[in-house]
Chains A and B, each alone.
Chain A
Amino acid sequence: MRSPSYLPCTLLGRRRLEGVEPAALGPEGLWLCRGTPALEMSNAREKKHAKKMRNQPTNVTLSSGFGAVDERGVKHHNGNEKSFQYQKQESHSGAPQHQQPKSTHVPSEPCMNEQPCKSQCRGEKGKGQAGWRGGHQGAAREIPKYITASTFAQARAAEVNAMLKAVTQKSSNSLVFQTLPRHMRRRAMSHNVKRLPRRLREIAQKEAEKTEHQKKEHSKNKCRKARRCHLNLLLEFNRRQKKNVWLETHIWHAKRFHMVKKWGYCLGESPTVKSYRASYRAMTKHCLLQDLSYYCCLELNGKEEEILKALARMCSIDTGLTFAAVHCLSGKRQGSLVLYRADKYPEEMLGPITFIWKPEGGTSTTPVNRKLWLWTHPTLKQDILTELKLVCQCVQPPEAAASIPEVVLTPHEEKSHIKQTENCKKRKRESDGEKNTNPVKKIVGDGTRNPFQPYSWTSSTTGIVVSDFTMEMNRYRLIGPLSHSILTEALKTASVYTEVEDAETVPHSWWVEACKNPDSVSVHHRQEAFFELLGGIASPAEFPAGTVLGLTVGDPRVNLPQKKAKALPSLEKCQDNEKVRQLRLEGVPVECAHSFIWNQDICKSVTENKISEKELNQMRSELMVPGSQLNLGHRESKIPILLIQQPGKVTGEDRLGWGSGWDVLLPKGWGMAFWIPFIYRGARVGGLKEALIHSRYKGAPSIPDDFPDCPAGILFAREQENNLLEKYKRHPPAKRPNYVKHGTLSPFRCPWGQLTRDWESRITTRAESLVSPSCSWANVKSDPGREDLCVVEDEQESKLSCEAETLKDKPGEPEEMMDTDSPGAAVAGDTTGEGVCGNDSGGTKGTFCVLRSRKLLKLLAAWCHPVARRNRVAIQASRMYQQQELTRATCLPILRDYPRSLVWVSLSLLKKGNPELHTMICIPSKDDILLLNEDRLYGGPQESRHSDPFKAKARKQKEKKTEKEQKQGGQHCAIVCAEGTPGLWPGSLPDITGHCSRTLLGFVTQGDFSLAAGCGEALGFVSLTGLLEMLLSQPADKRGLVLLRTPASLQYRFARIIIDI
């Protein structure tokens, strides 16, 4: 026997001897056990590492002995694709059967003729494998003394295979082309396999397939072209409108605005372009356009007296003009008021509305049915509607024959309609006309209405019909001085048919009918004349508030300008006209307020007979002179519209009339036809955010944010709190303000209920202490800031208490203050008795109300003025209303009547400061005012930092917990950790008015830097009780000074309180 000399002699050894177990292993067996990566690695890293190392060979040792193992009856399932079974030849060895693993690509060679040899070899291999595996079972035997050439060769071959695998197969997490050196990479390699070198293509192919598979399956089964085809698009849009109502301008908005789903509608929040200042400028100097079609219209139809009688229960003469106001009742003006639940006046507010009466037709001698439209915000609609039904005693859906079958029919109708559209693909959405728009609107409803519910209710006793006209009309709002020049340019009054034709031949039969009537023709001409006059007026603010002008206009798409251009008023045209002067003084006369939009049938026919955009374009392309004016003749639609003047800022002293404009009411279906012409005349479009800014600059409360006493307002506050809390929690504790340390008890909501309650209890305790002066001292001492309230107390006492306060302020420990306050609060609870206990939840309705009595507000407004200024303004007021002087005696009846009331105030900062949402309004101490007197540039006091007892508590508990766990070995400890997020006050709030060094008066609900005033301005509510106390305590020339502090700041800023009526 020759042994190859170049090999290590011992390894080569000799040929196999009988009876000696060879140390041969199957090639697979060698590599079966894969090494485990380091155990301490984290899971993801471990996985990554394992993936990287999966092709790398691992160590192979003859660990824990090796040798012949008796493994009878033990089967090894290696789970490979092919298995060969070989009979054992050696009697002494291993398992009878072996499932032969992978070494299967043995080519059938002609020289492989010796069957016994082969089987022997296999057997050895199998045995070796068995021995290898048996080694793990601890059955160690002796080491073989010799090895054969074949085992030697097998071992080498196995190693070569392993190394080949390691070398050829990509093991890293990178892609194939990343293994190439940089100079060989090409641009398109990542997606085009053919760019790769040929040797890598196969692997790359596999890889590409895998990644493609991993990609999310495309849900769209149609190609883009098919998806964008009109019919499919329409179906898709209809599907998407099912949950939230789309306005008619939705597509236009969706391309340009951030859309939000709110109140069951899809509304534009704000434009995607930067436009904060631009939209402000548009409101002041140009024109801002808004789509307010989501506002809901409720119609009341019935006898005037009946309606008035019913509605009188829902509003109060205290809050201003009601439905019965003369101007409004004639239909000449739009009115606005606040509705309450029937006979509940100061409490249970429902929400603010605007309303228009339909002008009486001609002779008013006979009591005819009159119509009243109430426009409400969608959040308020449901409450108001139910209350209206209750008040008007409309219980059952009356037109059972009329309304219900129609509604039931609609789904069926819709189905047939879809079939129809499938058949004739050319139809367009708008011109699907009589069926499409109607059923779609009805099926979709307004999101708050069940399609199978009736939308009209009648009363058998009063004869009033209440109908829900949601989404039946479009309402656009134009804000700004240029709004009526836009209107006059964009709209052209309809031409009157002079020659009488057959009504059947013309599509707009209603207009033909109207033209036959000389009365309506004359009204139309007068309306036209007034509309012409509009162009000569500089600003809509010059009109009386709420002027209503009815019109019938032609199709605005016809005279669309070629290019977008800004419409400017042509003032010189009718500057010195007598008529213009009259118009400014008296507004539009009653006759001109008439519009055909009140007639539902006409609206319906107008919607149906709209010429589609496509047809219009077709006609345009067929014009003889391209680009010339299109003359539709009698085919041109006549659209009845209603223009309503919106008063801008009506309260306060400066910027009166700011933000005034026009509201345009259109029949449905015509939204886009009017929208685009307005924009082509230079109107800028705003969303909900711009509406909020508008109402803030106007100083008007926005709906529903600033109506905390109506259900929608409560809901809104809750949602807002959740949103803000979520946002707060997203920051780590180190990157967000610790509101406990800032002394801010409720940074995300305004606890109005608790505020009013705390103020009430303060007053009652003080009153008690006055009655029994012996015990008063303790109370005064216990409560910092209370000395502010006590005017009656003599000088000495107040000084002492002032000292007490300063002493108190320094440590500023909330817990102590809570403790000292609690007895007083308890006393208050006992004395006030009713309701206090039930109000623990806070914010439930009925606990507080917003003061809306105009008389009282006027009184307060006068009191809020410092004396120096009051000379000028308020003396007339005092003359008019027999102004009472501000004394405790005059205050007492107010406090008795309105124990828990809030007052809507506007605040303007004296110097620095930028108020935000939920900024706290506080009462300045005497020292603050003294300091302000001395130094005009005094910025304001600072709140001392509070301690955060909860943090320490939480830490202690945590320590305890860990200790306990260590002791008890992982047992759950019963102590509940201080729940709630760190940095916020957990649990119920302590006395919020006295929590900080300055007594809390109220909260800001809207606030920002005002571009109009050039300083920070805010709107908010303060407690009436607190306000009166503050005013009583302040010197006359500094009345109405308050301090503002944002939730995340310790700095107070001076501001002046103004109550605008």
Chain B
Amino acid sequence: MVRFKHRYLLCELVSEDPRCRACLEERVLFGLVRDAIARVHGAFGAAACAVAFTVKYLNAYTGVVLLRCRKEFYQLLWSALPFITYLENKGQRYACFFNTLHVGGTIRTCQKFLIQYNRRQLLILLHNCPDGEERESIKKSVMSCSLEEPQEDQLSGGGSEEDATEME
């Protein structure tokens, strides 16, 4: 099949300040990344990445962001991401950084990875949670998102970690 091949970067926004998440919007993020690329790679890089660059998905609560770029130039985008150090919106400025979780060829693989990643996070959280009350609530949410799969997920989680691209 003939199609444009893309690379999808699944990233996580990490910020000290929880208010930072309120600023996380598609438009803001788009400008931020574009500026970062222009700063790092110059006009060529900005133009190369601007082709088909979009924010495909964004979740302010979890800080998960899915960016799309053409396959040929995703390295430029990827290498520019660490240079984003703050998020600015409506005159407010919060320090943050991006943590790339996964680089995939389709949205679907990214979504699959995100499921596994989140499950793993929740399970680890559950393991480490000492408090009874908190533990219950976490357990409930874990159960709500995955009825019977946690065990399986644990098993497969180890395997998929290898093929998952590096985390910073």
Contacts and interface: CB of A to CB of B under 8 A. Distances in A.
A and B form one complex: yes
Interface of A: 1-4, 6-8, 10-11, 13, 15, 23, 25, 27, 30, 56-63, 65-66, 103, 105-107, 109, 111-112, 114, 117-118, 121, 143-150, 152-161, 163-164, 166-167
B57 A157 contact: no
Nearest to A30: B61
A89 to B, nearest CB: 13
A10 B14 contact: yes
B146 A111 contact: no
A156 B114 CA distance: 10
24 contacts: A8-B14, A8-B15, A8-B63, A23-B61, A60-B60, A62-B22, A62-B24, A62-B61, A66-B22, A114-B136, A121-B136, A121-B140, A144-B18, A149-B129, A150-B138, A150-B141, A154-B141, A155-B62, A156-B118, A156-B122, A160-B118, A160-B119, A163-B111, A163-B114
B137 A103 contact: no
A752 to B, nearest CB: 63
A-B residue pairs, 10 tightest by C-beta: A150-B137, A157-B145, A143-B19, A157-B141, A155-B61, A160-B145, A153-B141, A59-B58, A4-B128, A153-B138
Contacts of B59: 30, 57, 59-60, 155, 159
Interface of B: 12, 14-19, 21-22, 24-26, 55, 57-64, 99, 107-108, 111-112, 114-115, 118-119, 121-122, 124-126, 128-134, 136-147
Contacts of A103: 144
Nearest to A154: B141
B106 to A, nearest CB: 11
Contact of A7 (B22, B119, B121, B146): B121
B63 A153 contact: no
Contacts of A152: 125
Contacts of B140: 106, 112, 118, 121
B22 A65 contact: yes
Contact of A121 (B126, B137, B147): B137
Given A111-B136, A148-B134, A157 B122 contact: yes
Contacts of B119: 160
Contacts of B108: 166-167
Contact of B115 (A111, A112, A160): A160
B18 A160 contact: no
B129 to A, nearest CB: 6
Nearest to A128: B61
Contacts of A66: 22
A150 B134 contact: yes
A2 B122 contact: no
B16 to A, nearest CB: 5
Given A106-B144, A156-B122, A167-B111, A112 B136 contact: yes
Contacts of B146: 160
Contacts of A146: 18
A59 B26 contact: yes
Given A1-B130, A61-B24, 18 more contacts: A4-B128, A15-B131, A23-B18, A27-B144, A58-B57, A59-B26, A62-B24, A63-B25, A65-B22, A66-B22, A117-B137, A118-B140, A157-B122, A157-B141, A157-B142, A160-B118, A163-B111, A167-B108
A15 to B, nearest CB: 7
A181 to B, nearest CB: 12
Nearest to A64: B22
Contacts of A106: 140, 143-144
B115 A164 contact: yes
A148 B131 CA distance: 12
B128 to A, nearest CB: 4
Given A10-B18, A112-B136, A160-B146, A4 B114 contact: no
A162 to B, nearest CB: 9
A150 B125 CA distance: 10
Nearest to A59: B58
B116 to A, nearest CB: 9
Q: Counting chain B CB atoms within 10 Å of each CB, which of A25, A146, A161 scores highest?
A: A161
A61 B58 contact: yes
A117 B131 CA distance: 12
B154 to A, nearest CB: 14
Contacts of B133: 114, 117
Contacts of B99: 8
B64 A159 contact: yes
B93 to A, nearest CB: 14
Contacts of B118: 156-157, 159-160, 163
A103 to B, nearest CB: 6
Contacts of A65: 22
Most A CB contacts (10 A, CB to CB) among B12, B112, B138, B146 go to B138
B61 A2 contact: no
B24 to A, nearest CB: 6
Given A6-B124, A57-B57, A114-B136, A27 B18 contact: no
B114 to A, nearest CB: 5
A10 B15 contact: yes
Contacts of A148: 134
B18 A11 contact: yes
Contact of B142 (A114, A144, A153): A153
B87 to A, nearest CB: 12
A157 B144 contact: yes
A199 to B, nearest CB: 14
Contact of A4 (B16, B124, B142): B124
Contacts of B124: 4, 6-7
A108 to B, nearest CB: 11
Contacts of A3: 128
Contacts of A145: 18-19
A8 B62 CA distance: 11
A30 B112 CA distance: 19
B53 to A, nearest CB: 16
A30 B62 CA distance: 11
Contact of A149 (B22, B25, B134, B147): B134
Interface centre among B55, B63, B121 (most CB of A within 10 A): B121
A384 to B, nearest CB: 72
Contacts of B21: 23, 62, 143
Contact of B138 (A2, A13, A149, A163): A149
Nearest to B137: A150
A291 to B, nearest CB: 59
B125 A61 contact: no
B121 A107 contact: no
B30 to A, nearest CB: 12
Contacts of B138: 149-150, 153
Given A30-B61, A157-B144, A118 B136 contact: yes
A167 B104 CA distance: 14
A11 B25 CA distance: 18
B115 A11 contact: no
B102 to A, nearest CB: 12
B84 to A, nearest CB: 15
Contacts of B15: 8, 10-11
B141 A156 contact: yes
Contacts of A8: 12, 14-15, 63, 99
A144 B99 CA distance: 23
Given A10-B18, A163-B111, A4 B125 contact: yes
A125 B40 CA distance: 42
Contact of A1 (B14, B125, B131): B131
A119 B166 CA distance: 40
A11 to B, nearest CB: 7
A23 B60 CA distance: 11
Contacts of A63: 25
B125 A7 contact: yes
Given A15-B134, A111-B139, A2 B128 contact: yes
Contacts of B63: 8, 11
